[in-house]
Structure 1
Amino acid sequence: MVTLSPGLLLIADPFLKDPNFSRTVVLLCDHQEKGSLGFVINRLFDQPLNELIPEVLLNNIPVYYGGPVQMDTIHFIHRTPELISGGQEILPGVFWGGQFEDVISALNRGLLDSSQVKFFLGYAGWTEGQLDEEVKEKSWIVSQTGAGLIFDAEEQQIWQQSLRNLGSSFAMMANYPIDPSLN
């Protein structure tokens, strides 16, 4: 059994039918006995940040669908602890959260761009024991990652690339059709 911890990726099994998570990759940010929380890193939301937060002056900052829970909240991960105070390091060089005012200020002053921060509308959440059970049932493939895949990869390629990074036995899964009965 895999030991779940912040910073791991949860790669959706190719045949996972839940429309919220089909062909997604979730960055796990918190995993405790009482529950787990993460963000879908490869599903772009249809509005940029400035349409959701008018204080943001830039109009090209993407927002991602973080998950189906609390779709009225915005969360973020970043690589700039020197600009954003209060974040929690979830893997080397990647921080979850921090002072939202710091983020807005850094964006508006041109000190931050989308290669350093990623925003999410909502989050993926699991109750006590739920994620462990889903991993045991093989709904998720658990993997380690680095900041490059999270911040630099094209969102349409993250799911396939995550599987390929696991080696040849998983790489072929990246080409599985969504519905094998149509093949």
Structure 2
Amino acid sequence: MMNRHTPIKKARQGRYLIAEPMLLDQSFNRTVVLLTEYNEEGFVGFVLNKPMDLYIHELVPELPESDFPVFFGGPVQNDSIFYVHTLGSRVSGSLHIAGDLYWGGDFDELKALMHSGSVNPQEIRFFMGYSGWSPRQLEGELEEKSWVVLEAGSIDPLNDAPGTMWKKVLLHLGDDYKIWANAPKDPMLN
């Protein structure tokens, strides 16, 4: 029987990508990515553990001042705002990811909910940009062992601490991944 912290082979919507520690692309170095959509154009996902030094009201001045941080979602369209949430039908047009997770939806409805105080930071995460892979690109990266894939439900994407998320997930994967979790950021300095 597979537990929720057992690596699996296939990337799918709702699953997580865990970067191997020496991935050279700084956009993805030591990241955890939630895959939110798969279609004929490929995969869309968001980096969960790279907070920016910004709050959403600083980017969208018509929103009330709040404690809703913005995260680096990936290198694609990094001048655009995206969001993953658990608000479901409270925001029409939201796209179901897995479980109680959704992304996108009517931004005017979301703004109204935020103005009314009926949304808290544990229910939504904002991103600048997204991560994208063409249809065969991610499969190639998985074959190269650049990523480990985890099942939906392995991570609490809106509440797990971003600073420790990557290492915590790897430690839960067992002894085979402890070396990844404890690898120095720069082996030349070791």
Q: Same fold (TM over 0.5)?
A: yes
Q: Which residue identity does 1:25 align to in structure 2? A: V
1:115 aligns with 2:115: no
Shift of 1:147: 7.8
**TM-score normalised according to structure 2 size:** 0.90
In structure 1, the partner of 2:169 is 162
From 102, 106, 110, give the equivalent of 1:99: 106
What SS does the aligned partner of 1:134 have?
A: helix
Cα deviation, 1:135-173, whole Å, max 9, x if unaligned, reads 111111111242852111111011112212322322342
Distance 2:136 2:154 in 1: 27
Does 2:74 align with 1:67? Answer: yes
Select 1:135's aligned residue among 130, 133, 142: 142
Q: Deviations over 1:16-52 (max 9, x none)?
A: 0111111111101112342111000100012110010
Equivalenced residues, count: 183
**Which residue in 2 is equivalent to 1:2?**
9
The amino acid across from 2:114 in the alignment is: L
Identity of aligned residues (%): 38
CA 1:164–1:147 in 2, change beyond 3 Å: closer, same or farther?
closer
CA deviations 1:93-116 (Å, max 9, x no partner) are 111111111211111111001100
Q: Which of 53, 57, 62 is the matching residue for 2:64?
A: 57
Aligned partner (choices 77, 86, 111) of residue 93 of structure 2: 86
Per the TM alignment, residue 82 of structure 1 is displaced from its structure 2 partner at its CA by 3.8
Paired with 2:55 and 2:72, the residues of 1 have a C-alpha distance of 11
**TM-score normalized with structure 1 length:** 0.93
- The answer for unaligned runs of 5 or more in structure 1 is none
Is the deviation greater in 171-180 or in 67-76?
A: 171-180
| In 2, Cα distance between equivalents of 1:146 and 1:36 | 19
From 54, 78, 83, the equivalent of 1:47 is: 54
Alpha-carbon distance between aligned partners in 1 of 2:56 and 2:155, rounded to the nearest angstrom:
22
User: Segments of 4+ in structure 1 off by > 6 A?
Assistant: none
Extract unaligned runs of 5+ from structure 2.
1-7
Secondary structure of 1:67 counterpart? coil
User: What is the aligned-residue RMSD (CA, Å)?
Assistant: 1.6
Show CA shifts across 1:108-141 (max 9, x none): 1110011000110000111231111111111111
